Structure 1
Amino acid sequence: MGIVDRQEVRKLAEIQNSGPIPYSTHDLALSVATSFFDHPDYVNSLKDFRALVLLQAIMWFQEGLVAPVWVENFEKILTKLEQPES
């Protein structure tokens, strides 16, 4: 795909993982994804992947791999992005 540079993803993951909030691997992945999906530079280019990533997040939740709060936050962000701008 190559929409978001791997170095940007790695840098953000390292920053978030070094903070006070403990992350599982899947929590961190979803948190980083949420940041990029909500970032103005990527909103349009990642639009086609929203449903796929939300489905993956739900599957991770069902498998107990991600905390519910991360899935809820991601869903809220996607819902906000789907709303027409006023």
Structure 2
Amino acid sequence: MFGFFKKKPTIVDAAIREIYGDNPPAKSAVLEHAVTLAYEGLLFEQIPRRDVERLATSLFNGPMPYSTHDLAVSTAHAFFSASHNIEKLSGCQLAARACVLSWLKAGQVAPMIAWAFESALYVDYKPAVSAEADL
């Protein structure tokens, strides 16, 4: 009535609109499938499955209207971005990035989620430039 009881948008609401547009889809993620995609397809079993399940469940229970692939990418993103995992995951990051790109091309992952994943991994996993390269 007269807009008095309208809920004020939150930062999370703004993030959802930025990622999914003004009419975000309903949450459609299948948690167990997202865990498997993240654990096997992106992290190549380098992180304990129970840790992947724990984080994916936490994200799943949040307000984001993830699809299964969005949830898998967001879950893997957190592990790839953790500084203590960089050495452990460096061998699989290129394959994970290629996988996310193929999901993006197939329309299975939101473009902003794929962009955030690629941007973070590009920065965190780019090869160090040696002083000898300048010679």
Is 2:15 aligned against 1:15? Answer: no
Unaligned 5+ segments in structure 2 are 1-43, 129-135
- Superposition pairs of residues 38-53 of structure 1, within 5 angstroms: 38-53=81-96
Unaligned runs of 5+ in 1: none
- Taking structure 2 as the reference length, what is the TM-score of the superposition? 0.59
Q: In the alignment, does 2:114 pair up with 1:71?
A: yes
Q: Aligned letter for 1:43? A: I
Q: Separation in 2 of the partners of 1:83 and 1:48?
A: 12
Question: Following TM superposition, by how much is the alpha carbon of 1:41 offset from its aligned partner in structure 2, in angstroms?
Answer: 2.1
Match of 2:113, SS? helix
The C-alpha deviation readout for 1:44-84, integer Å capped at 9, x for no partner, is: 10011111001000100111100001110011111111264
Give distance in 1, aligned partners of 2:117 and 2:111.
10
Q: Which has the higher contact order (CA 8 A, sep 6+)?
A: 1
Q: Which runs of 4+ in 1 moved over 6 A?
A: none
**Once superposed, what is the RMSD of the aligned Cα atoms?**
1.3
Letter in 1 for 2:48: D
What is the distance in 1 between the residues matched to 2:53 and 2:69? 14
Q: Offset of 1:2 from its aligned partner?
A: 3.8
Q: Computing the radius of gyration over CA atoms, which structure comes out larger, 1 or 2?
A: 2
Alignment of 1:24-63 (within 5 A): 24-63=67-106
Q: C-alpha displacement at 1:23, in angstroms? A: 0.5
